[in-house]
A = this chain, B = another copy of it.
Amino acid sequence: MSMDGIAIGLDIGGTNLRVAQVTYRGEVLKRTRRETSQDIVKDIIESIDELITEDTVGIGIGIAGVVDSTSGVVKRSPNLSQAEGIDLKSILSDKYNLPIRIDNDANAATLGERFVGAGRRFEDFVMLTLGTGIGGGVVINGALLKTASELGHITVEANGKKCLCPNSGCLEAYASGRAIVSDVIDQLEKGADSLLKDCCEGNIYKITPEDVYNYALEGDTLARETLKNAGKYLGIGIASLVNIFSPQAVIIGGGLTGAWDILVREAIREANKRAFPELIENVEILPAQLADNAGVVGAASLVLYSSEAK
Residues on A close to B: CB < 8 A? 66, 75-76, 124, 140-141, 145-151, 153-158, 160, 165-168, 232-233, 236-237, 239-240, 243-247, 273-279
Copies of this chain assembled into the complex: 2
> In the complex, what residues of B have CB within 8 A of residue A240's CB?
153-155, 240
How near does chain B come to A50, taking the closest CB pair, in angstroms? 32
Q: Are B154 and A157 in contact (CB under 8 A)?
A: no
* A148 and B66 contacting across the interface, CB-CB below 8 Å: no
Q: Which of B165, B233, B239, B246 contacts A167 (CB 8 A)?
A: B239
Cα distance A39–B53 in the bound complex, in angstroms: 68
Question: Are B147 and A124 interface neighbours, CB within 8 A?
Answer: yes
Interchain CB contact under 8 A, A153 and B243: yes
* Interchain residue pairs A-B with the least CB separation, the first 4: A148-B246, A154-B240, A150-B243, A167-B274
Q: How far is the CA of A279 from the CA of B147 in the complex (A)?
A: 10
Q: Across the interface, do B153 and A154 meet the contact criterion of CB distance under 8 Å?
A: no
Return the chain B residue nearest A124 by Cβ: B147
Given contacts A243-B150, A246-B148, A278-B75, contact A273 B66 (CB under 8 A): no
**30 pairs, A vs B, C-beta closer than 8 Å:** A75-B278, A76-B276, A76-B278, A124-B147, A140-B145, A140-B146, A147-B244, A147-B245, A147-B246, A148-B243, A148-B244, A148-B276, A150-B244, A151-B244, A153-B276, A154-B240, A154-B243, A155-B156, A155-B236, A155-B239, A155-B240, A155-B274, A156-B158, A157-B157, A157-B158, A158-B232, A166-B273, A166-B275, A167-B274, A167-B275
**Closest Cβ of chain B: how far from A218's Cβ, in Å?**
29
Of chain B, the residue at the smallest CB distance from A168 is B274
